[in-house]
Amino acid sequence: MSCQTGNIGRVFHALGDPTRRAIVEKLSEGPISVSQLTQPLDITLAAVLQHLQVLEESGLVRTEKIGRVRTCSIEPGGLSAAEKWIRDRRTLWERRLDRLGELLAESGEE
């Protein structure tokens, strides 16, 4: 299996920060360097680097350094665990609501 589970907490925590979400959104358009990433944000490059570390540890982002520039890109499977967790919750309680609906319909019929 491609994705280690147990990162769900880290992923949600990473996405809880607006700057980090902005980084992920930017990277969705394609890979760019740390300084390019920093430019539109209103914080120092050092701060961006710290966010990138969080994002890497959560498995959402991958970075590679070539020469003096570190290029950041989306890790394509990074969101799947979180997506699955959400989907699982949804189906669980939708199923529950359906059962509830049936019960109400039955009791209304007789």
- Three-state SS at 32: strand
Asked if residue 19 binds DNA (CB under 7 A), the reply is yes
- Three-state SS at 23: helix
Separation of alpha carbons 46 and 30, rounded Å: 21
**Least distance in angstroms from the C-beta of 10 to DNA:** 9
Distances (CA, A) of 62 to 33, 95, 97, 108, 110: 12, 37, 40, 56, 60
Stretch that binds its own copies, among 38-46, 47-55, 64-72, 90-98 (CB under 8 A): 90-98
Task: Tell me the Ramachandran region of residue 30: left when phi exceeds 0, alpha when psi lies from -120 to 50, beta otherwise.
Answer: left
**Among positions 50, 53, 94, 104, the unique one binding its own copies when judged by CB under 8 A:** 94
Q: Tell me which residues touch its own copies (CB under 8 A).
A: 8-9, 12-18, 21, 24-25, 27-30, 74, 76, 79, 82-83, 85-87, 89-90, 92-94, 96-97
In the complex, the residues that contact DNA under the rule CB under 7 A are 13, 16-17, 19-20, 33-36, 38, 42-47, 49-51, 54, 65-71
